[in-house]
Amino acid sequence: MVGAPTTGGGAGGDFAQMVDDPSSYVDELKDVPSLRRKAERVLRSRHKRWEEATAIAEKAKGAGIAAPEPGPEPKLDDILAEAARNDLFKIIEDLVLWENTTNEEVLQKARDAIWESWRRTCRDNAGHPRAKELFDRHKLPALHDPFAGGGALPLEAQRLGLEAYASDLNPVARTHRQGDDRDSAEVRGPTAG
């Protein structure tokens, strides 16, 4: 699988950017020779299949037979973006496995990808008028889940090293989270004071 360049020792890329507009990040991926070579091999293979499908569609069209179009011509940028996305999906797939709940290697890959994404975001917003205040590359932003329910997202955010805040207007959800807090305190044992 084609990996992404790292700024903090991690693998993957900025998922939100990859989904919304991969163009600027793909330019960075093109600058990594090993990634580019691997993507070019994939491109040659896909382009060959695309040309074959195009020829078949043209023949069918000439014979008056309805045949599906082969789709757009494959491009290097699309393959690089897909590879970076797949790297991130692999991290997620590993995270959701029960046996990896406390696997530090898997958790660290996810933390590294989060840090890498945050540092890229800070760099991309360096010209923002409040960049020093809002985009500190040495401190991850906090997560606030205003509809936290039982608190699964804030719990996972904390597990991955983010400061997390949870709130909910539903009193049942608040009570449930407060119960979790008491249970956690009981497991840890009594606190001093």
pLDDT tens for residues 75-112? Answer: 999 999 898 889 999 999 999 999 999 999 999 999 99
Nearest to 5 by CA among 37, 41, 29, 27: 29
Across the range 28-43, mean pLDDT stands at 90
Question: Exposed (0-12), middle (13-18) or buried (19+): which is 118, by Cβ within 10 Å?
Answer: buried
Structure tokens at 16: 């939100």
pLDDT for residue 60 is more than 80: yes
CA 169, 172, 177, 181 dihedral sign is: positive
Q: Looking at the domain assignment, is residue 64 inside a domain? A: yes
Q: Is residue 16 part of a domain?
A: yes
Number of DSSP helices (H) and strands (E) in the chain, helices first: 8, 2
Residue 4: HSE in the Cβ half-sphere, 13 Å Cα cutoff: 34
CB 108 within 8 A of CB 5: no
- Structure tokens of 177? 């989270």
Q: Which amino acid is at 150?
A: G
> Rounded mean pLDDT of 12-40?
72
Give SS3 for 4. Answer: coil
More confident: 15 or 167:
167
pLDDT score recorded for residue 118: 93
Question: 173 Cβ partners below 8 Å, 6+ apart?
Answer: 148, 149, 150
Total domains present in the chain: 1
Does 172 reside within a domain?
Answer: no
Mean pLDDT of 101-130: 93
Cβ contact 30:3 at 8 Å: no
Mean pLDDT of 124-148: 92
Question: What is the pLDDT at residue 2?
Answer: 40
174 vs 82: which has the higher pLDDT: 82
Asked if residue 138 belongs to a domain, the reply is no
> Is the model's pLDDT at 192 over the cut of 50?
no
In a domain, 94, yes or no: yes
Q: Is residue 58 part of a domain?
A: yes
**Residue 38 located in a structural domain:** yes
Cα(40)–Cα(21) distance, integer angstroms? 21
Q: Give me the domain span that covers residue 4.
A: 1-102
Would 76 be classed as within a structural domain? yes
The band of 172, judged by pLDDT with boundaries at 50, 70 and 90, is confident
Residue 27 predicted with pLDDT over 90: no
Give the chain's mean pLDDT: 81
The pLDDT, as a whole number, for residue 3 is: 42
Q: How confident is the model at residue 50 (pLDDT cuts 50, 70, 90)?
A: very high
Instruction: Supply the pLDDT for residue 187.
Output: 33
CB proximity list for 123: less than 8 A, separation 6 or greater: 137
